[in-house]
């Protein structure tokens, strides 16, 4: 199965470091981040899981729940979590799925045969409250994930879901945004964007981020 943007994220039940997980029950009405790791006790992933734990408050502010996956078993996960807590000076506060049978990895297309026949690639999936896949990023084993970019994308998705805007290159929270080209009615423009807008070109109109005071 090849998972694509806009697909419904598959539900699953699988054991984890925090017991049996039903994915949909775990997410509830929240946004979700599911990210895979090739194996326990890998150096880059150790730093990533530690950093994810440190972002607990940032995720909570955005209504996001994190969950990780590795192909090793629960006992191995518990040992690895101890190492993560010790070396990254944090406390892992989210479950790590024990995907020894590769059930979840197969559902989410985390195994790429040209990279490895048995190990998952390091992919990250963002899922919205309607269980739709909104972002898929796959990283090489040698490059750690950029969690500032992940937070930036979540901010963009949540903003653009509620306002008729898109976010331009390198946008971060607080920057001007782009009004979507389909919105042409001047009365609606004034209602939606009372601070006004700048028309650089007819199709490129910039306005202050609409959900800020």
Which residues are part of the catalytic machinery? 45
* Residue 179 burial (C-beta neighbours within 10 Å; 0-12, 13-18, 19+): buried
d(C-alpha 86, C-alpha 149), whole Å? 26
Strand partners, 177: 207
Q: How far, CA to CA in Å, does 168 sit from each of 54, 157, 172, 177, 178? A: 28, 12, 9, 6, 7
Helix (H, G, I), strand (E, B) or coil at 183: coil
Q: What share of the chain is helix, strand, coil (3-state, %, to 5)?
A: 30, 25, 45
């Amino acid at each position: 199965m090849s998972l694509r943007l806009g697909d419904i994220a598959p539900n699953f039940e699988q054991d984890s470091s925090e017991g049996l997980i039903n994915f949909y029950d775990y997410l509830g009405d929240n946004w979700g981040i599911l990210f895979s790791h090739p194996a326990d006790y890998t150096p880059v992933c150790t730093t990533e899981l530690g950093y994810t734990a440190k972002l607990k408050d940032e995720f909570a502010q955005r209504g996001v729940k994190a969950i990780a996956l590795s192909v090793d078993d629960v006992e191995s996960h518990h040992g690895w979590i101890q190492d993560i807590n010790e070396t990254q000076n944090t406390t892992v506060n989210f479950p790590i799925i024990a995907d020894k049978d590769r059930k979840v990895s197969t559902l989410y297309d985390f195994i790429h045969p040209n990279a490895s026949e048995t190990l998952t690639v390091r992919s990250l999936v963002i899922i919205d409250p309607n269980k739709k896949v909104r972002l898929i990023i796959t990283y090489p084993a040698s490059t750690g994930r950029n969690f500032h970019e992940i937070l930036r994308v979540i901010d963009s998705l949540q903003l653009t879901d509620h306002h008729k805007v898109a976010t331009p290159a390198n946008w971060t929270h607080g920057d001007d945004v782009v009004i979507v080209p389909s919105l042409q009615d001047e009365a609606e423009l004034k209602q939606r964007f009372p601070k006004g807008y700048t028309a650089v070109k007819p199709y490129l109109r910039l306005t202050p981020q609409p959900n800020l005071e």
